[in-house]
């Protein structure tokens, strides 16, 4: 039976719930929901509406209040939940949450953004190198894997509305795109591109200048599946009907 997995940067779970996230989920039920940028600790959030829909949950929040954080909601209990990736700085920022279901692993990840300046861009590049090595070490024991989240990188000119003007912008820098080239050449498949090689769709829009209404966006949210699972992908869509954030959900159906 197919499993539906959704990745969604909610830009604050409390704000998203106020904007109708639970009602949207009631109308669009999925099996697993990976949220990024929760910006809250579990005890600060009224999640009774989500629990009433049958979801249990795991959280990994940043130590800094109102910052970063990931949470995974699931209807079937995972066999194992592991918070973090063993790196002090990234774990303090609540960036990685692992859940194991049988013989496959789901990683819910929120990559750093480099948009605030050179220091954070350096942190982002260091994270990319660390995360690549950490994942490939984990693959030795968990070879079936899905890595869902906000990668904060648009891969190709097809994935950004204005590639020429943004070629020196964090999120579309040559070195970031080269990292994704390496990522998708060594064991992982971009699930959306696997289903839609030539389709132009975005997952994030600036709040400025009516970017979403004009569809001037970036595709920076991904579901990567290990190559040994790509034939199980049934469909991947961007659910632009969900308006609880400056991102939209990335929805994947997979016969895992």
Reply yes or no on whether 129 is catalytic: no
Among all chains, which residue has been given the structure tokens 């989500």?
50
The sign of the torsion formed by the CA atoms of 167, 173, 177, 182 equals positive
Q: Pick the catalytic residue: 150, 159, 221, 253? A: 150
Is the distance from CB of 171 to CB of 113 less than 8 angstroms?
yes
Neighbours of 251 (CB within 10 A): 21
What are the tokens at 26? 């009631």
Q: Is 68 in a helix, a strand, or coil?
A: coil
Helix, strand, coil percent values for the chain (each to nearest 5): 30, 30, 40
Task: Kindly list the catalytic residues.
Answer: 150
């Amino acid at each position: 039976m197919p499993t539906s997995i959704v990745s969604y940067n909610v830009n604050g779970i409390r704000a998203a719930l106020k904007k109708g996230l639970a009602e949207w989920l009631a109308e669009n039920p999925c099996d697993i929901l990976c949220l990024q940028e929760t910006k809250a600790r579990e005890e600060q959030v009224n999640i009774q509406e989500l629990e009433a829909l049958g979801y249990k949950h795991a959280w990994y929040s940043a130590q800094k209040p109102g910052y970063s954080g990931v949470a995974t909601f699931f209807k079937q209990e995972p066999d194992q939940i592991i918070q973090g990736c063993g790196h002090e700085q990234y774990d303090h920022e609540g960036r990685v949450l692992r859940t194991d279901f049988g013989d496959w692993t789901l990683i819910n990840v929120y990559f750093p953004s480099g948009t605030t300046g050179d220091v954070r861009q350096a942190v982002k590049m260091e994270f990319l190198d660390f995360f690549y090595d950490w994942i490939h070490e984990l693959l030795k024991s968990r070879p079936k894997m899905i890595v869902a989240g906000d990668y904060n990188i648009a891969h190709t000119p097809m994935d950004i509305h204005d590639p020429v003007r943004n070629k020196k912008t964090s999120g579309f820098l040559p070195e970031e795109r080269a990292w994704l080239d390496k990522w998708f050449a060594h064991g992982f498949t971009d699930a959306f591109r696997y289903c839609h090689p030539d389709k132009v769709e975005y997952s994030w829009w600036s709040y400025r200048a009516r970017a979403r209404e004009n569809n001037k966006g970036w595709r920076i949210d991904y579901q990567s599946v290990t190559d040994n699972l790509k034939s199980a992908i049934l469909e991947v869509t961007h659910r632009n009907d969900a308006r609880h954030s400056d991102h939209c959900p990335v929805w994947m159906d997979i016969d895992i």
